[in-house]
Structure 1
Amino acid sequence: MTDPARTVLAGLDDIRSDLEDLYRDLHRHPELGLREHRTAKTAADALRESGYDVTEGVGGTGVIGVLANGDGPVVMVRADMDALPVRERTGLPYASTATVPDDDGGERPVMHACGHDVHVTCLIGGARLMARHRDAWRGTFVALFQPSEENGDGAAAMIGDGLTEKSPRPDVVLAQHVLPYPAGYVGTRPGSFLSAADSLRVTVHGRGAHGSAPQASVDPVVIAAMIVVRLQTIVSRELAATTPAVVTVGSVHAGSSPNVIPDRAVIELNVRTYDDVTRARVLDAIERIVKAECEASRTPEAPEIERLSSFPPTVNDEEPTRRVADAFAAYFGDDAHTVERQTASEDMSEIPRAFGVPFTYWMIGGTDPERYAEAAEKGTVAQDIPVNHSATFAPVVQPTLDTGVSAVTVAALAWLGDRAA
């Protein structure tokens, strides 16, 4: 019996050069969340050229492409489109020099520092191949290009703008992400894969005074210091050693002069957890500690705790993950792996949740294999291999793109190929 994946992917040689040019163009022209107008148009135009029914502007800049090809399952594959406010330092000939205005009248640099340009290119490539080889599969292939993943609000924006009415209801949702593993690798993981992430801002209200008269103050700097120290005990003393979680205080701001006690302090922190129970416990502990420290110091006002952003945990459903893992093993052989949990976060799972359907999310490698092997031999992977969001993060063009296009196609055909005539 003919293997649908190999039939469809036989056409990759014909489009490889075009996809490489597309990737370099997308990398050179990054756009921040909900501003991905050029990227979205590129995706929409490519889908239309391949015969897809295209809906644009979903949730601002989101794109849905639908290719119906007879009776069968509906498979949705999602790619995120947005870039980051990072100044690129890769030195590549196609490096970004893009900037956008900031709130202070200056300019912010923009870079594809997380590989979303890879994701867009690979989904366009997979969509083109699926359209060219309709004789190898049956069902409906849905290509979804999502805005503003980095801000954690892109999936919600598409859902709020009627995604579930504007797209056929999928039987499964699929997605992938490039990570700093060797290019050519693909990795799946059933169950808990990516962490939830919650960013908070805590404002402590004190009473200002001169540095020479501390008795007249309620010092928010001291209170903030106590809060920062106590927050470290949540993971070390309130969670089991086998329960992974991270509480990071990334910013503390208070005062503007060495001899003036200010009237407030602002703490910004980030929490990473892997399940809803642990997430709720950690967030409750933060609130308890903040309020208790302020009460102990008799602050004139209660503290304020604001949620700045929130990403759900990414917990892969078992059955679709097993199906994709089996398909990857058959196609990629020894380059198919089971990977460890990642502390990165995503909002992609909100899309299948809105439809009430299962999903699986996998990784592909993007690092030059020889460079990775050298670093692994020296034990310096963490120091020598740029990670996502780094100014020097730049997946090698090949075999990253071939792997990503192949992974999208193989995974989709794990459902659609079963119905081939």
Structure 2
Amino acid sequence: MTSRQRSAPASILQGVEALLRPLAVFRADLHRNPELSGQERRTAERLARWLGHAGCEVFTGVGGHGVVARLRNGEGPLVLLRAELDALPVREETGLSYASTVTAARPDGRVVPVAHACGHDIHMTCLAGTAELLAANRASWRGTVLLVGQPAEETLTGAAAMLDDGLYQRFGVPDVALAQHVAPLPAGVVAHAPPGEPLTAAGAELRIVIRGRGGHGGMPHLAVDPVVVAASVVLRLRAMAVQERRPGEHVVVTVGALHAGERANVIPDSAVLEAIVRAPSLAAVDRVVEVARRVVEDECLAARCPDPPEFTVVTRVPAGISDPVAAARVRRAHLAVFGAGRVVEVPQGQASEDFPLFGADGRVPTVYWYVGSVPPAVWDRAPGAGPLEKLHSLPAAHSPKFSPDPVATLRAGITALAAGALAWLGTGPLGNGEIMSFGSLP
């Protein structure tokens, strides 16, 4: 690699500052107008329009509302960069001037508040900024970039839908697929998993319908109350997560939604539970799911429910383990542009992602990392003797109070994503240095 090639990434990344103001406006619009999984029509249109103006060929409607933008620049590698489109059924409590007040109807007809409480608006904006940087600096790289706006990540269905819709057949099999996620770490910090270890957990989402027999609230002996059965199921599932945990495993079972009935004096006919299982591997997830199935069946049988329960595995995703060789290449790039003091290793969390599906068949190496989003002053004031204690005191993703530092997070996120892409496109920085441990954070 020549000295000119080594300096090219630095010159490209200097362009981030000029983009921050228009991108902050773009991000605020996305944040103010969130859409639920599978309903991302406006979001997809806004992202597609920006990517088109940046000079990309844009394709929409891939696997639902998925967006694929192609930026070609001669012969070279094919690099896929992914961001998510969807938001969550959460009522925002950030106090931001552009906070969401949006509501939307779920597939079951219930109207819920909607907010970008997971940072996907930041991810899309980083994708847009990376497209701008690469398009404006074509002399410094060669190859093709696929910028993917994926729908329905929160339901863990969007990646599979895009792949089933022929993503790789239509646009080519990438040499690498890259993605990132904001995290409650100091803004300006980039975090990777230790080599060969997962950053995200394997997971499954469950939908459980308990069939009871409705009746008068004052005469429960004439009914089979599905709410009581559901309550027993919730308690047993929580206990089961502990009992099924094997040495070295971290298993989580959470019932995040329970819907039943309309009035206090009417025993409903049914209750619906939505739950997730998280574990280090798909084998562990599948084992716990089968025990959960037996728990539900046993509780319904003991309560003499008139019909067997419905137990559906809605989605199922593997753990997120970055390809070791590809991840080392991205880490070197991040060390070169951020410096060793701002690149850290973090242990596996219990969140799940469907991004691993982009490489699940073994053809495509994937790399996934975290970008810090907490304002430095807020991190410094957070109580706790170390980073783990500070994390526990800060609003995390999916909290109604989750509020990334917009400018610092965008600056780091665009830099990290662009540097990762440039590591494959012929001018990626190959820095030296050591990654800090998680405990080394201030």
TM-score, normalisation: structure 1? 0.88
Between 50-59 and 115-124, the greater mean CA deviation after superposition: 50-59
- Listed as ranges, the matches of 1:14-413 within 5 Å are 14-100=18-104, 108-189=112-193, 190=195, 191-205=197-211, 223-251=229-257, 266-295=272-301, 299-333=305-339, 334-353=341-360, 356-377=363-384, 381=390, 384-413=393-422
Q: Give SS of 1:415's match.
A: coil
**Root mean square deviation of aligned Cα:** 3.1
Instruction: Provide the aligned length of Structure 1 versus Structure 2.
Output: 420
CA–CA distance in structure 2, aligned partners of residues 104 and 291 of structure 1: 24
Deviates more, 1:228-237 or 1:238-247: 228-237
Please list the CA deviations of residues 20-55 of structure 1 after superposition, one character each: whole Å capped at 9, or x if unmatched. Answer: 222222222222223333332332223223322221
Query: Structure 1: how far apart are the matches of 2:130 and 2:349?
Result: 25
Paired amino acid for 1:133:
N
Q: Contact (CA 8 Å) 1:146, 1:155: kept in 2 or not?
A: yes
Q: CA deviation at 1:82?
A: 1.5
Counterparts of 2:103 and 2:212 in 1: how far apart (Å)?
39
Quick one: distance in 2 between partners of 1:260 and 1:13?
60
In structure 2, do the counterparts of structure 1 residues 290 and 65 end up closer, same or farther at CA, with 3 Å as the change threshold?
Answer: same
Q: Which amino acid aligns with 1:398?
A: V
1:138-178 superposed Cα distances (whole Å, 9 cap, x missing partner) = 22111111112122222222223221222122100000111
CA distance, structure 1, for counterparts of residue 267 and residue 116 of structure 2: 42
SS at match of 2:321: strand
Would the aligned equivalents of 2:9 and 2:428 in 1 still touch at CA under 8 Å? no
Bigger shift: 249-258 or 26-35? 249-258
What SS does structure 2 have at the residue aligned with 1:416? coil
Query: In structure 2, what residue type is equivalent to 1:393?
Result: F
Alpha carbons of 1:416 and 1:84: their partners in 2 closer, same or farther (altered >3 Å)?
same
Shift of 1:335: 0.6
Q: Is the contact between residue 233 and residue 296 of structure 2 (CA under 8 Å) also seen in structure 1?
A: yes
Deviation at 1:356, TM superposition (A): 2.6
Q: 1:97 deviation in Å?
A: 2.9
Deviation at 1:78, TM superposition (A): 0.5
Q: Which secondary structure does the structure 1 equivalent of 2:406 belong to? A: coil
Tell whether the 8 Å contact from 1:7 to 1:136 is kept in structure 2 after alignment.
no
Cα distance in structure 2, aligned partners of 1:28 and 1:168: 34
Q: State how far apart, in whole Å, the 1-side matches of 2:109 and 2:259 are.
A: 23
**Contact 1:139 1:419 survives alignment (8 Å):** no
Q: Structure 1 residues 264 and 144 mapped into 2: Cα distance closer, same or farther (>3 Å)?
A: closer
Separation of aligned partners in 2, 1:319 and 1:358: 9
- The 8 Å contact of residues 184 and 366 in structure 1, kept in 2 or not, is answered as yes
Q: How far apart in 2 are the matches of 1:102 and 1:214?
A: 31
Q: CA 1:240/1:397 → structure 2, altered by over 3 Å: closer, same or farther?
A: same
Question: 1:95 aligns to what SS in structure 2?
Answer: coil
CA shift for structure 1 position 249: 3.2
Residues 67, 221 of structure 1: alpha-carbon distance in 2 compared, 3 angstrom cutoff: closer
Structure 1, unaligned runs of 5 or more:
none
Gaps of 5+ in 2: 430-442
Deviation at 1:75, TM superposition (A): 0.7
> Percent same amino acid among aligned pairs?
43
CA distance in 2, matches of 1:33, 1:67: 26
Kept in 2: contact 1:33–1:83 (CA 8 A)? yes
- Paired with 1:209 and 1:96, the residues of 2 have a C-alpha distance of 40
For 1:105 and 1:251, locate their aligned partners in 2 and report how far apart those are by CA, in whole Å.
Answer: 15
What is the alpha-carbon distance in structure 2 between the residues aligned to residue 212 and residue 407 of structure 1? Answer: 61
